[in-house]
Amino acid sequence: MDDERLTLLGQSPDDLPPLSALLQDATLRAPDIAWDRRRRRLVLIVNRYRHEAGGGSRVRAALRIEAVTGVRHQRWPGDAEAVLALLAVAGDDGGVTLTFAGGTALRVEVEAIDLVLEDLGAPWATPNRPDHDAPAN
């Protein structure tokens, strides 16, 4: 299982909790997010913490959201190099909300729920474990 690459689909709001669990504690920077308006696609390239493998490793992964009609952000950091920690992915028939630590959020308006989470490479070991009890800076 350590070297198996995940590929999961989400096509309804009920499909999002497992995707959210797999993406919890993923990290990225703002430049790791791309919205292609013409293709109506939003892609996030993240370093996904592998909770399902007992932790202790990360893997580069892509979250692709299709049928995007609009993207709004809340409390977006001004520093493009700021690291964002993804806490949850939730959705309804009108969109998907990505909630990050520190109150940052993305609301992705969609015509239909259509997400793909795909690991892009081999995992690597990390001594850094997510700590939700750490004080905020």
- The pLDDT, as a whole number, for residue 105 is 97
User: Are 91 and 13 within 8 A, CB to CB?
Assistant: yes
**How far apart, in whole angstroms, are the C-alpha atoms of residue 49 and residue 123?**
9
Does residue 129 fall inside a structural domain? no
Does residue 21 fall inside a structural domain? yes
- The pLDDT, as a whole number, for residue 134 is 52
Does residue 74 fall inside a structural domain? yes
Count other C-beta atoms under 10 Å from residue 2's C-beta.
10
Does residue 2 fall inside a structural domain? no
Which tokens hold the place of 103? 């109150």
**In the chain, what is the greatest distance between 2 CA atoms, to the nearest angstrom?**
41
Does residue 14 fall inside a structural domain? yes
Does residue 133 fall inside a structural domain? no
Which residue range(s) make up the domain with 85? 7-122
Instruction: Report the number of distinct structural domains present in the chain.
Output: 1
Does residue 128 fall inside a structural domain? no
- Closest by CA to 93, choosing from 16, 33, 41, 22, is 16
- The pLDDT, as a whole number, for residue 1 is 47
Q: Is the pTM of this model over 0.75?
A: yes
Divide the 137 residues of the chain into consecutive groups of 10 and give the mean pLDDT of each group.
81 95 96 96 98 93 98 94 96 93 96 97 92 56
Does residue 131 fall inside a structural domain? no
